[in-house]
Amino acid sequence: MIFTVAIDGPAAAGKGTISRAVAAHFGFAHLDTGLLYRAVGTKGGDPVAAALGLTPDDLARPDLRTAEAGQAASRVAAIPEVRAALVAFQRRFARADGGAVLDGRDIGTVICPEAEVKLYVTASDAVRAHRRWLELRGSGISEAEVLAQLVERDRRDTAREAAPLKPAADALLLDTTELTIDAAVNKAIAAINERIGQGRA
């Protein structure tokens, strides 16, 4: 079965957690597309060459979840040649047999506009900053600094000319500001089950 679930949204909204849970529930393959850009950003040197030469080992680096890697990812993601180098990989992954869940910032709008299900996961700035700060505790960064970084990243991601961050016109909006993880995952699963049911009708 070829079935693509595209999950987009800003940082720390919960899209990664929801994507992993959804993939596990349905037995679909999962790709955190942000890791592609984080890996390119942290490799250093020419970002286009880094994107073209990306390997699975690059995606397994332990430092890809740091705040610095996130900022680097946002910077290189604004380079059209980098995006072009990674688009084909993502599209092949999305349409492989067995079903796939991809989470990122332009999956439903650019990478997989034909996705069977599109979700846009969001939350308030304050809640997202608090979640990310909890992940980064021990690193010495303050919650106010995390909030400032998220706001700046949102500004850069939504203002860029190449594939700006925005919900697809037909995406289901999932606001996790006041939802538990389980409640958010259940809403996503329900939307996917509905679409699978329509496909079998």
On whether the CB atoms of residues 103 and 34 are closer than 8 A, the answer is yes
Residues in the chain: 201
Determine whether the annotation assigns residue 11 to a binding site.
yes
Sequence-distant contacts of 125-130: CB under 8 A, at least 24 apart: 125/150, 125/151, 125/154, 127/176, 127/177, 128/10, 128/11, 128/12, 128/13, 129/12
On whether the CB atoms of residues 82 and 40 are closer than 8 A, the answer is yes
Determine whether the annotation assigns residue 13 to a binding site.
yes
Interatomic CA distance for residues 115 and 166, integer angstroms: 16
The region, left, alpha or beta by phi > 0 then psi within -120 to 50, assigned to residue 44 is: left
Helix (H, G, I), strand (E, B) or coil at 57: helix
Determine whether the annotation assigns residue 12 to a binding site.
yes
Per-residue pLDDT at 200: 61
The H or E element containing residue 127 is helix 125-136
Determine whether the annotation assigns residue 191 to a binding site.
no
On whether the CB atoms of residues 64 and 58 are closer than 8 A, the answer is no
Q: Where residue 95 falls among pLDDT bands split at 50, 70, 90? A: very high
At 157-183, the pLDDT tens digits run: 999 888 889 999 999 999 999 999 999
Nearest to 40 by CA among 32, 51, 49: 51
Determine whether the annotation assigns residue 167 to a binding site.
no
Determine whether the annotation assigns residue 98 to a binding site.
no
Determine whether the annotation assigns residue 16 to a binding site.
yes
Per-residue pLDDT at 163: 84
Interatomic CA distance for residues 183 and 46, integer angstroms: 42
Interatomic CA distance for residues 158 and 166, integer angstroms: 7
Average pLDDT over residues 146-153: 95
Determine whether the annotation assigns residue 15 to a binding site.
yes
Q: Where residue 42 falls among pLDDT bands split at 50, 70, 90? A: very high
For the chain, list the domains and their CATH numbers: 4-196 (3.40.50.300)
Per-residue pLDDT at 56: 75
What does pLDDT average to over the chain?
93
Chain-centroid distance of CA 57 in Å reads 19
Determine whether the annotation assigns residue 43 to a binding site.
no
